[in-house]
Amino acid sequence: MDTSKLTLEECSGGSLEADHLCVLVHGLWGNPSHMLSVAQSLRAQYPRDKLHLLVAKRNSGSFTYDGIETGGERVCHEIEEELEEVKSKGGKITKISIVGYSLGGLVARYAIGLLFARGVLDKLECMNFTAFASPFLGVRSPHGRTLSRMYNALGARTLSVSGQQLFGVDKFRDTGKPLVAVLADPKSIFMSGLARFKRRTLYANVVNDRTAVYYTTSFSRTDPFTDLEGIKVNYVKGYEDVILDPVDPVTYLDHEEKTKAKHASKLRQSIGARVKKQLRKLGLFVVFTIMIPIGVTAYLINAAVQTIRSSRRVKLHEQGLAGINTENFRKLSLWKIKEIRDAVEDAYDELNNSSSNGSAQLEEEEDDDDDDLTAATRRRRGSRMFDNFQRKNSRGVSKEEQQTLALAPYQFEAIKALDSLGWNKYGVYIHNVRHSHAAIIERMKREDFAEGRPNGATVTRKRKRTSTTTTLASTTKPLKTEAGPSSSRRTRTTTTSDQDTDTTRRANPRKAARKTTNPSTGESIVSPPSDWEEIYRLIKEMRLSGPAANAAVDTMGCERLASPQASPRDRRFHTLVALMLSSQTKDTVNAEAMIRLKNELPPYEEGKPPGLNLENMLAVDPALLNQLIGKVGFHNNKTKYLKQAALLLRDNHNSDIPTTLEGLMSLPGVGPKMAHLCMGAENGWNKVTGIGVDVHVHRITNLWGWQSPPTKTPEETRLALESWLPRDKWKEINWLLVGFGQKVCLPVGRKCGDCELGLRGLCKSAERKKVLEGRRRVKVEVKEEVCLKKVEDEEADVKIESGDEGVKMEEEERKVVLKIEEEDIVMETTEVVDEEPVSVKKFEDDEEERKGVVKMEEGEDVVMNSTEVDIPVKESEDDKEEDKKMVVKKSEDVTDSSFIKKEEDDVKMES
């Protein structure tokens, strides 16, 4: 089932058979639709009879200003309502998992504490808590710069209660500490509730997240990603370019390596790129100079309005007038339950410590397999991944590189407490966007969010989705090796028919086209993508005889719409007009418009033929022309462009299309793509001047990762491709990729299961679910072919065996027939009418070989070659004459003329 088109309402809920409730909580300024991709991904993995989805709705939009406490109470109320509703309908929820994004992670943790204190979690099996880019330590900037101080001061005062709690300037109730610190207090109900979950997983953006930076989303004392040129990023094997190795995320480079890396980075940036970068900064400075005053004013006004509204909502909420009885939550103690629990666990631990070492080790190993580990045992285990990372990177690293961030004391305490629970921490490297906070869960459907797409076109997208969803229902422990982000992921790949996925995935990550320096000459050259030749070959095979064959461009492409009966000049004009009409128009619609122009465009004067040519285009009324091309996109503008271009062709180009690229691009409505295609078309000038890059070529090559960083416009893609693609393929690549984009790699609903690139793991943007379905289908087809081949081979063997027996039988039958015919001939040659048959031996042709003595005496036998012949003693003359004729007639095939002569002599002797 394709869940990518499901709405949020269609993903939510579940059947009465579902026993697992999964709650999704969005972030600040968010709404439930931000969790659509996560909901679609979960629904793709778990049907409605397995998983019940609840997307929190009460805390959306401006309601997120009301604070973590109020939001957590709303979410807790929604969860309890959902449980009661399922129960009233006859269902039963026995498991629970919670996913929080951004501020939603803190809201979810608060709700978990309330559920724990109210005894709700005692009735449920707590499975997974997953956080995406959630600021566990708040969002206070640890840097002492002026901008950082302004950011801390302004943010805390413009986001109402949520801002105060996120920046750590609030005093939660009577604790005297910020709410962020209370949430991480080891003795609080929030930590007790969080400890109930079997797995706790977080995903943190390592760069480009300006909302929740790495140190807070991964609660780390250091941020090794501030200087990317001084480190080497290590990825999880099989999840390269997106998921970082949790044990060893980075390797620090020594001074020499760092210098080489910086030098190589400078070499990769051409002078033109540097100039563009500086101009871009200058442009941004000018824009900011103008827009900042306006933007800041609008922001402050909106913040003041939202703060006032938020304070009113919070007041109504606390009074119980917002639909929630807050007394059920506010009367709960934040500490009492936990203190009693800790006292019992500490006494139990002291008793265990007094045992022998062997017994203690055995108990600890058994505790590791126990789902309900005590808090003390969890503290002993700690956050092993974080410690391993610190130990690994402490060797050979300078003090400056290991510098601890200037965090507040409560943040250091929170790090220690949270690490004691044990987490699966995964850094996420989003490359394609400058602000990765929204891309980590694909908060909206955008192509540049592909790396964070949970249910989308790339292997990396599905990797992250499987990291989230496969840990949802699995009961295995977190993975501690390089195999992948979760042990459940590995279990799935080794127990299903999809186990060939890892073998087909490329062992080495693809290298995009990149600038390198020729060591011998020192010249800067562009190296092509590492696997472009294999991709190109497979695309060509699919276009010629595979799923991408017989595309619309093959028969209705612009260069094929020229009338073959027209003159060369008119054919060139046909090609130009078709290209001008093709912009933002499907080939089928464009072909229909061209047919109308070629058939219905009136002649410029009486007696002249109608149809599409320059003279008729000049004379046609614009209203009629607009009507003839009315089905193409932007037909009003194209009508003007055609009329203006016709005048320019008549006045400046001798009533023909321009012979140069610049001349074509000087025509209105003609861009680089149309100009290059017109120059290279057979019905144009048939001169290859460049690559015609349309939306298909631009989109598909970026999906493959041929350009790094991804190009933003077709013209950038053209320049990038021409820098390394062999010139003999410049004309062909447009035809290949346009047809491929029309038949297989569609803009919406790509058929990755039919694409050889996806099936062979060559496309980094392939949608994993479709690829797996395609591989299963291919396996079934292969099995069917093998079975059919086996049946055919068996039938062939049977035919061969029966054929051999038939040949033998036919040979024997033929021998028998020949023998019978031979006997018949001999019998016929010796037959005597009205007398008994005579037995003779065939006479030989040579008279010298005949032996024997013939005695012609009455009453005696005739002996010929020692063969007895019974002949009547007396015969009439007529009988002998008739016998002579019969002998001659019947022995034509077996005797020659000499034999007949001898018979005549014998007859004479007898007479």
Beta strand pairing status for 514-517 and 867-869? unpaired
Q: Which two tokens stand for residue 351?
A: 């008793």
Write out the DSSP string of 833-858: TTS------PPPSSGGG--------T
**CA-atom Rg of the chain in angstroms:** 45
Handedness of CA 218, 222, 228, 233 (dihedral sign): negative
CA–CA separation, 167 vs 180, rounded Å? 9
CA distance 795 to 790: 9
Catalytic-labelled residue, pool 95, 198, 425, 673: 673
Task: Name the nearest CA neighbour of 65 among 312, 324, 298.
Answer: 312
Element (H, E) at 526: strand 524-527
Q: In whole angstroms, what separates CA 806 from the centre of its chain?
A: 57
In this structure, what token pair is assigned to residue 540? 């060509």
DSSP codes joined into one string, 417-481: HHHTT--EEEEE---S-S--TTGGGTSS--GGGGGG-TTSSSHHHHHHHHHHHHHHH--SPPP-S
Which DSSP state fits 710?
Answer: P
Residue 580 is classified by DSSP as H
Count the Cβ atoms, other than its own, within 10 Å of residue 94: 11
Tell me, yes or no, if 338 is annotated catalytic: no
Query: Beta-carbon neighbour count of residue 405 at 10 Å?
Result: 18
Separation between Cα atoms, residue 621 and residue 601, nearest integer Å: 10
Instruction: Give the Cα-Cα-Cα angle 860, 849, 863 (nearest 5 degrees).
Output: 10
Structure tokens given for 751: 């058929």
**How far is the C-alpha of 365 from the C-alpha of 359, rounded, in Å?**
10
Compute the distance between CA of residue 261 and CA of residue 231 in angstroms, rounded to an integer: 9
| Closest to 663 (Cα-Cα) out of 681, 645, 680 | 645
Report the Cα–Cα distance between both ends of the chain, in Å, rounded. 108
Helix (H) or strand (E) holding 360: helix 357-369
At residue 324, φ and ψ (nearest 5 deg) are: -130, 130
Taking the C-alpha atoms of residue 223 and residue 232, their distance in angstroms, rounded to an integer, is 14
Q: How far apart are CA 638 and CA 668, in angstroms?
A: 9
Quick one: CA torsion of 536, 541, 547, 551, rounded to 10 degrees?
80
Catalytic residues: 673
